[in-house]
């Protein structure tokens, strides 16, 4: 399924009317509300592949992390850069994939992770991410 909304506030509201419990792949570009996309993913527990444009504000990674907790079956994630982006650190997002926090690991089955632009993360964080994924810390048993 591919959803290509334009920058209008009405389009993200349409997600609350879409119910696809066997959805396996989604390519979503444009504006989204964290709550509507989170609720949509809760109704789509079999989602395995997601391409998503990062939010244009400085809270982009925080908003992305919040919605990805509702994607436990995700195997492939592509994060697309929006047209206008304020560079912020992606350390917290990368750590969420390999740190067992109070909500567990973020996307525990994830095998493919693609940023479509340069990553703004510390060397230590990237090392933690790579070592954690290699050791299988975030792979559900």
Name the residue ranges covered by the structural domains of the chain.
2-135
Domain with residues 2-135, CATH architecture? Alpha-Beta Horseshoe (3.80)
Question: What residues pair up with 25 in beta bridges, in sequence order?
Answer: 49
Q: Per-residue pLDDT tens, the chain, 141 aa: give them.
A: 545 444 444 455 677 788 888 999 999 877 677 888 888 899 999 999 999 887 666 577 788 888 899 999 999 999 887 766 556 677 888 888 887 777 777 888 888 988 777 677 888 988 888 888 777 655 443
**Main-chain dihedrals φ then ψ at residue 3, nearest 5 degrees:** -120, 120
Measure the CA–CA gap between 34 and 137, rounded to whole angstroms: 27
Helices and strands, number each (H, E), in the chain: 5, 5
Rounded to two decimals, what is the model's pTM?
0.76
Nearest in space to 81 (alpha carbons), one of 61, 95, 96? 61
């Amino acid at each position: 399924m591919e959803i290509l909304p334009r920058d209008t506030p009405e389009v993200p509201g349409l997600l609350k009317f879409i119910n696809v419990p066997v959805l396996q792949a989604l390519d979503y570009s444009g504006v989204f509300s964290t709550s509507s996309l989170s609720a949509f993913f809760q109704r789509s527990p079999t989602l395995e592949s997601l391409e998503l444009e990062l939010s244009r504000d400085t809270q982009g990674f925080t908003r992305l992390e919040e919605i990805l907790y509702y994607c436990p079956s995700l195997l492939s994630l592509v994060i697309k850069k929006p047209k206008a982006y304020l560079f912020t650190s992606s350390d917290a997002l990368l750590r969420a994939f390999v740190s067992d926090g109070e909500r567990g690991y973020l996307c525990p089955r994830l095998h493919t992770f693609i940023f479509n632009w340069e990553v703004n993360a510390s060397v230590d964080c990237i090392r933690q991410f790579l070592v954690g994924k290699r050791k299988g810390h975030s792979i559900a048993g």
